Chains A and B, each alone.
Chain A
Amino acid sequence: MRPIKLTIPLALALLFGIFGFGIQYVVHPWAADTKEVIALWSRVIGGIATLLGIYSLVHLHMTKIQRKQEGWGYSLFFFLGFLVITAAVVYNGGRWLLSAKVEQSVYDLLYEALYVSAGATMFSLLGFYIASAAVRTFRARSFEAALLLAAAIVVMVGQVPIGAMISPYFPGISEWALSVPNMAAKRAIMMGVSLGAIATSLRIIFGLERSYLGGGD
């Protein structure tokens, strides 16, 4: 059991990790072809995993309905949506599944009129959430919080036309705050993130980190 669950995955991680690292420095067309083949494997594995994902979704909502869990009625909508969209894809504007996708079909209508609109609605909620998060954050309870509040006011006022009308310095200060201290902090985070990402990759490649296999250290 151990070789299958641990040794072989660790050996594969080492092999593909070093290979994937090395191939980034090769410009020969052979390297590009190999990367393409590996990407193809990923797509095949992804396709198989999609079936597992669909099974999980169906199983989750079916269980909810069977057990009459809280909000089980929403699961009916899952099945409704799933079946309607699947039927629209199979029907394909009368050309059926194996033909090329027909434009302006029922599927397009459902996608553009329902799915995209619902997504846009969710996105628009962000405006309200930003306001409520800002109200909670911008309370000057300490020196740092007061500094944050002042910086936020300057940056916000500097970004809108009325800021320049109040004082011509606002846009400049706002721009400076964004491009100097803010950018410096961003870059510092980026450097730390890059080193962290490389260290994590090395931990995985050399088999030091095994949590992703579900096992211990």
Chain B
Amino acid sequence: MTRRVPLLWRASTLACALALACASASRAAEEAAPPAEPGLPRPAFLVAEPTPNDNGTRVTVRWPRPDAWPEGWRYVVYISLDPSWRWFECGAVGPREGLLTSRGIAPFYPYHFSPGDEQYFIVSPLEVDDIAAYWLPAERQVCGWVEGSRATLQESQSKLAGLRDLAGKRLAFRAVAARYRPGWEAQANRAGPGQQAAAEFLKSTAKREKDMGVAILEERDSVLDDLARYLLANAVVSAEAEAMLVSQDAEDPAAMRRDLEKAAAALRIAQPTAEDRDNYDRLAYALDLALLRRQLGDTSALGEDITGQALWQLDALTREADLPPDLLEARARTEKAAPAPDDAALAAALKAWHAALSSFERDSSEGAEKQWATAAEGLERATQQWQEGMRGVLVSRLAGGRLVAPPQDCLGAEISRLGPIVEGCQKRLKQMQYDNSRRPYWFRLGLQTPSGERLAPFDLTASAASHAAVFDMSTLVNLVFAVGFTAAVLFMVAYVRHHPDVFVRRIAGLEAVDEAIGRATEMGKPVLFVHGLTGVGDISLLASVNILGRLGRQVAEYDSDLLVANNDPLVFSLSQEVVQEAYLEAGRPDAYRPDNVFMVASDQFPYAAAVAGIMSRRRPAANFFMGFFYAEALILAERGAMTGAIQIAGTDSFTQLPFFITTCDYTLMGEELYAASAYLSRNARLLATLKAQDMGKAVLLASLPVGTALCNLGLNWVQVIYTAYDKGF
């Protein structure tokens, strides 16, 4: 017993100690373990790279996909110009979005051999609105003003023409009304059955005259608005240039040009930093604006002439319309009085806007952004006030009395002059957008909770600039197949030089061509050839033209008539040439009649109606429908069947094939259309290409069962090849 007690004691003590140790270890482990991460885990890596096969506008961000995905959580992708700047959200990714390795097959090159599950997100920085706010607001604004000033002048020119037309109508109406008014007035004053009608007529005539006068005044006011807007655009562009020059401390364009040359020389020597490039861009832009301002300054007299010319025309037209004074006075009373345009206020508002913009570019905080938005509102108000004030000035000039005619048509000249300036602005903006799309951007990931709340982003960042690829790797399978097929064609063409006997199966529709033409010749009726509706850019049209060439020669040999009805001017010209040459080849140039190849209509149903009419009237003995057809196929073929003609159709439009099969005597289906020319020529080199086609079909036929079998055995490399490079195939 004495020995057992200590043993039991020891055992129980040991057990307790072990239990305590386990408990404390467990507690320690619990204390030492990091708290469970909410939602999705932090990715092990984040990669940003130029999007493959892209034209240089997008960046792809990718990261590992977590094994478990709690419901409702999403990764959020942020973008910035620099890690120290503001970050903007550019998209969220859910569990089934942007998967690079779904079912072990990546959707596109080069990720199809990606080792594990990854997710990707493609960002087009130019399309992220918040980021776009940083870009070129000043450039966009000036481009908009210059474009707007040209559009406004064009509109004014059109309105002035309309106003002339309205004035003429009013005068003509008044002249007719004046001729009949005495009679109607007499009838209105005489008691009788027509008295009321006469009174109503007089009233409606007066109302019509007044309405026409009001319409003229409204159109006139609209032209005044346009002129004020045009002058505002000029003023803003000048003030803009001023503001930019002041902000760059380079009021003297000559000095600025020297600075620009220095900057350009420095940039040529050293690799410029992004900041240098920005400064360089700004200097260049300021110089452009200065030049533009000088142009506008040089032509300020022209601007005055334009306004003068437009006002003179308005004045002349208003007087020509002979509007009653009470109408003019009533209109004048509705004019709102506005203070004269304040150039200084406009310039100050622009300057404030530029200052806010450059401050926003240095400091991307929300406060700076708000300041910029306030400045933009101030600028909007200033431009509106300036425009209203200028409109008042124009109205008073118009009301001031007879205006002097300008020496020349400066309105049209100004519109022409603005054309290249607008193009230059657009080109510059496009170039700057292009440059901005290629600058490096920064990306990071954050989380979105099921309730839509954004959590603090992970401490992972990645940077990349987009890059334009030259070769589109996603079309690789297409290219390999095309090169392989071309090689097969060339091989077969070389092969038949030594083995000219090429067997091609009998095609009933083509065997019947001779019979159809012979029948037409015997009956003394023409042969009709119809191309389908596609243009020369379509390969089925070229196939049908090839058939037409062969057919034309046979028809010429049989001394029959060939009618070709076209619906496209280019196809018409081509057909005329082909048929003429075919007659020449057949040794019957005298039998060719150019009137037999004609254009009937360019639209679908007028074309169908015209061809159906030709079938009814000319009763061709043989109809050939070759090419790609749409809904007109059945109208044509059924009409031909009713006339009793022998009909041979050939189309690769499988939706129209059933209609041709039911209504035509022979139908060339799909590829037979493309084989027809070679078949009819019996030329060994052309027939060799049909053999190459058979080789291509054999490859496809073999790959179908082999690929299906391999996929069923779990070997999906055939599928990987076809899906990873599937674009355009």
The chain A residues found within 8 Å of chain B, CB to CB, are: 21, 24-29, 32, 42, 45-46, 49-54, 56-57, 59-60, 63, 70-71, 74, 94-96, 99-100, 118-119, 122-123, 125-126, 129-130, 132-134, 136-137, 186, 189-193, 195-204, 206, 208-209, 211-217
B162, B165, B486, B613: the one within 8 Å of A202 (CB): B486
* CB of A84, distance to nearest CB on chain B (Å): 15
CA distance in complex: A59, B595 (Å): 8
A21, A122, A133, A199: the one within 8 Å of B489 (CB): A199
B595, B609, B663: the one within 8 Å of A60 (CB): B595
CA distance in complex: A204, B540 (Å): 13
Interface contact B569-A53, CB-CB below 8 Å:
yes
Instruction: Say which one of B73-81, B269-277, B291-299, B468-476 lies at the interface with A.
Output: B468-476
Interface contact A46-B570, CB-CB below 8 Å:
yes
Mark contacts of B580-598 with chain A using CB atoms, 8 A cut-off: 1 yes-contact digit, 0 otherwise.
1110110000000001001
30 A-B interface contacts by CB (under 8 A) = A25-B478, A29-B55, A53-B568, A57-B600, A59-B595, A70-B617, A94-B162, A95-B162, A99-B158, A123-B631, A129-B635, A130-B634, A133-B659, A137-B661, A186-B654, A195-B485, A196-B652, A196-B671, A198-B696, A199-B690, A199-B693, A200-B677, A202-B486, A202-B489, A212-B549, A212-B574, A212-B578, A214-B578, A214-B580, A214-B582
Cβ contacts under 8 Å, A137 to chain B: 661-662
Interface contact B475-A25, CB-CB below 8 Å:
yes
Contacts A133-B634, A199-B489, A200-B539 known; list 6 others, CB within 8 Å: A49-B570, A56-B599, A119-B606, A197-B543, A211-B681, A213-B581
Interface contact B549-A196, CB-CB below 8 Å:
no
Greatest chain A CB density within 10 A among B540, B570, B635 is at B570
Does B689 count as interface, using CB distance less than 8 angstroms? yes
* CB of A137, distance to nearest CB on chain B (Å): 4
Does B685 count as interface, using CB distance less than 8 angstroms? yes
Does B638 count as interface, using CB distance less than 8 angstroms? yes
* CB of B447, distance to nearest CB on chain A (Å): 34
A25, A49, A190, A212: the one within 8 Å of B569 (CB): A49
Q: A29-B55, A196-B673, A217-B686 are in contact. Are A94 and B635 (CB under 8 A)?
A: no
A-B complex: 8 closest residue pairs judged by Cβ atoms: A214-B581, A196-B674, A53-B569, A211-B549, A196-B671, A192-B671, A122-B605, A49-B569
Q: Which residue of B lies closest to A74 (CB)?
A: B613
Interface contact A201-B578, CB-CB below 8 Å:
no
Does B352 count as interface, using CB distance less than 8 angstroms? no
CA distance in complex: A201, B485 (Å): 12
CA distance in complex: A201, B689 (Å): 11
CA distance in complex: A185, B681 (Å): 29
Q: A189-B669, A191-B697 are in contact. Are A202 and B573 (CB under 8 A)?
A: no
A71, A95, A96, A211: the one within 8 Å of B613 (CB): A71
Q: Which residue of B lies closest to A216 (CB)?
A: B585
Cβ contacts under 8 Å, B598 to chain A: 56-57, 60
B584, B602, B613: the one within 8 Å of A53 (CB): B602
A21, A99, A134, A193: the one within 8 Å of B671 (CB): A193
CA distance in complex: A129, B548 (Å): 27
Interface contact A197-B689, CB-CB below 8 Å:
no
Interface contact A192-B670, CB-CB below 8 Å:
yes
CA distance in complex: A56, B602 (Å): 12
Cβ contacts under 8 Å, B652 to chain A: 189, 193, 196-197
Cβ contacts under 8 Å, A198 to chain B: 482, 485, 696
Cβ contacts under 8 Å, A213 to chain B: 577-578, 581
Interface contact A27-B603, CB-CB below 8 Å:
no
* CB of A100, distance to nearest CB on chain B (Å): 7
Cβ contacts under 8 Å, B56 to chain A: 28-29
Cβ contacts under 8 Å, B604 to chain A: 119
Interface contact B572-A56, CB-CB below 8 Å:
yes
* CB of A129, distance to nearest CB on chain B (Å): 4
Does B54 count as interface, using CB distance less than 8 angstroms? yes
Interface contact B158-A136, CB-CB below 8 Å:
no
Interface contact B662-A203, CB-CB below 8 Å:
no
Q: Which residue of B lies closest to A129 (CB)?
A: B638
Cβ contacts under 8 Å, B479 to chain A: 25
Does B545 count as interface, using CB distance less than 8 angstroms? yes
CA distance in complex: A24, B728 (Å): 9
B472, B608, B631: the one within 8 Å of A25 (CB): B472
Does B550 count as interface, using CB distance less than 8 angstroms? yes
CA distance in complex: A118, B634 (Å): 18
CA distance in complex: A129, B533 (Å): 20
Q: Which residue of A lies closest to B688 (CB)?
A: A208
Interface contact A99-B161, CB-CB below 8 Å:
yes
Mark contacts of B15-47 with chain A using CB atoms, 8 A cut-off: 1 yes-contact digit, 0 otherwise.
000000000000000000000000000000000
Does B542 count as interface, using CB distance less than 8 angstroms? yes
Interface contact A200-B700, CB-CB below 8 Å:
no
Q: Which residue of A lies closest to B651 (CB)?
A: A193
Q: Which residue of B lies closest to A204 (CB)?
A: B542
* CB of A148, distance to nearest CB on chain B (Å): 10
CA distance in complex: A28, B600 (Å): 42
Greatest chain A CB density within 10 A among B671, B683, B692 is at B671
* CB of A102, distance to nearest CB on chain B (Å): 9
Q: Which residue of B lies closest to A133 (CB)?
A: B662
Q: A52-B569, A95-B158, A189-B654 are in contact. Are A28 and B671 (CB under 8 A)?
A: no
Interface contact B585-A215, CB-CB below 8 Å:
yes
Does B537 count as interface, using CB distance less than 8 angstroms? yes
CA distance in complex: A193, B627 (Å): 12
Interface contact A53-B609, CB-CB below 8 Å:
no
A27, A129, A192, A204: the one within 8 Å of B472 (CB): A27
* CB of B211, distance to nearest CB on chain A (Å): 17
Q: A196-B674, A200-B543, A216-B585 are in contact. Are A53 and B162 (CB under 8 A)?
A: no
Cβ contacts under 8 Å, A51 to chain B: 569
Cβ contacts under 8 Å, B605 to chain A: 118-119, 122-123
Q: Which residue of B lies closest to A217 (CB)?
A: B683
Mark contacts of B156-188 with chain A using CB atoms, 8 A cut-off: 1 yes-contact digit, 0 otherwise.
001001100100000000000000000000000
* Chain B, 639-675, CB within 8 A of any chain A CB: 641, 652, 654, 657, 659, 661-663, 669-675
Mark contacts of B76-109 with chain A using CB atoms, 8 A cut-off: 1 yes-contact digit, 0 otherwise.
0000000000000000000000000000000000
Q: Which residue of A lies closest to B596 (CB)?
A: A60
Q: Which residue of A lies closest to B541 (CB)?
A: A212
Cβ contacts under 8 Å, A52 to chain B: 569, 572-573, 599
Cβ contacts under 8 Å, A133 to chain B: 634, 638, 659, 662-663
Cβ contacts under 8 Å, B384 to chain A: none
Cβ contacts under 8 Å, A49 to chain B: 569-570, 572-573
* CB of B515, distance to nearest CB on chain A (Å): 21
* CB of B529, distance to nearest CB on chain A (Å): 13
Interface contact B55-A27, CB-CB below 8 Å:
yes
Interface contact B475-A196, CB-CB below 8 Å:
no
Mark contacts of B46-80 with chain A using CB atoms, 8 A cut-off: 1 yes-contact digit, 0 otherwise.
00000001111000000000000000000000000
CA distance in complex: A203, B641 (Å): 34
* Chain B, 426-473, CB within 8 A of any chain A CB: 434, 468-472
Interface contact B469-A27, CB-CB below 8 Å:
yes
CA distance in complex: A189, B582 (Å): 31
CA distance in complex: A24, B729 (Å): 12
CA distance in complex: A196, B507 (Å): 15
Cβ contacts under 8 Å, B608 to chain A: 122
Cβ contacts under 8 Å, B468 to chain A: 27-29
Q: Which residue of A lies closest to B485 (CB)?
A: A198
Does B546 count as interface, using CB distance less than 8 angstroms? yes
Cβ contacts under 8 Å, A60 to chain B: 595, 598-600
Interface contact A212-B542, CB-CB below 8 Å:
yes
CA distance in complex: A25, B33 (Å): 54
Cβ contacts under 8 Å, A118 to chain B: 605-606, 609
Q: A212-B578, A214-B581, A214-B582 are in contact. Are A42 and B55 (CB under 8 A)?
A: no
Does B236 count as interface, using CB distance less than 8 angstroms? no
* CB of A82, distance to nearest CB on chain B (Å): 11
CA distance in complex: A70, B582 (Å): 28
* CB of B454, distance to nearest CB on chain A (Å): 35
